[in-house]
Amino acid sequence: MDGVVTAVAVSPTHSFSKYSQPEITLVAGEGAVGDAHRGAKVKHRSRVKRDPEQPNLRQVHLIHSELHDELVAQGFTVKPGDLGENITTRDVDLLNLPTGTRLRIGHEVVVEVTGLRNPCYQIDDFSSGMLKAVLTKDSSGRLVRKAGVMGVVATGGTVRPGDPISVELPAEPHQPLEPV
């Protein structure tokens, strides 16, 4: 289940997309340096309105580049960072990891997966019809959220495209990812 980082991105504002970088620095317990979502307390604007003191379980957003491939095949134009992710991965089945999975990235960084990203209407503002493409239903009628996962930084350091990613599953019983 090992993978690789294909791109990294940050944005200093609460814009939908983030800007690709040659590298990003992650700070333990906070997130990415230079990113508007960095902090120990919640930074997502709608969540801040409800309770600004809740912990930030969305310090880092990861999306699998296979989603980009799927969207491009459906006629959308999308590149790393466009959907707001800090880290774009390949060959890691992000959506099927259990809560608490630790992703070792490069030689020093550890990101603990906290849950699924819940895609919102802003995706359709970015590209009309994309929300339906990333929020589907399985054969049982259950909602499938494809817009990546969220995590917290357990160990900080620098992340670059090309860095390897190893997956460390938590102790069983595994808890499936829920939106955070």
Q: How confident is the model at residue 2 (pLDDT cuts 50, 70, 90)?
A: confident
> What integer pLDDT is reported at residue 49 of this predicted model?
82
Domain assignment of residue 62, given as a range: 3-168
> What integer pLDDT is reported at residue 94 of this predicted model?
98
Residue 86 belongs to some domain of the structure: yes
Residue 102 belongs to some domain of the structure: yes
Partnered with residue 156 across adjacent β-strands are: none
Q: Output 34 or 43, whichever has higher pLDDT.
A: 34
Residue 179 belongs to some domain of the structure: no
Between strands 109-116 and 143-145, the pairing is unpaired
DSSP, residue by residue, 90-125: ES--GGGPBTT-EEEETTTEEEEEEEE----THHHH
Residue 101 belongs to some domain of the structure: yes
In tens, the pLDDT along 73-121 reads 999 999 999 999 999 999 999 999 999 999 999 999 999 999 999 988 8
Residue 173 belongs to some domain of the structure: no
The residue written with tokens 């969305």 in the block is 58
Residue 74 belongs to some domain of the structure: yes
Mean pLDDT (whole number) for 128-149 = 94
Contact 30/119 with Cβ under 8 angstroms? no
Instruction: Give the CA distances from residue 69 to residues 4, 55, 63, 151, 154, in Å, rounded to whole numbers and listed in that order.
Output: 16, 33, 11, 23, 29
Which pTM does this prediction carry?
A: 0.95
CA distance 171 to 25: 28
Percent of the chain at pLDDT above 90? 89
Residue 125 belongs to some domain of the structure: yes
CATH number at residue 126: 2.40.33.20
What's the total number of domains in the chain?
1
- Average pLDDT across the chain, whole number: 95
The two tokens of residue 126 are: 């970015």
Residue 48 belongs to some domain of the structure: yes
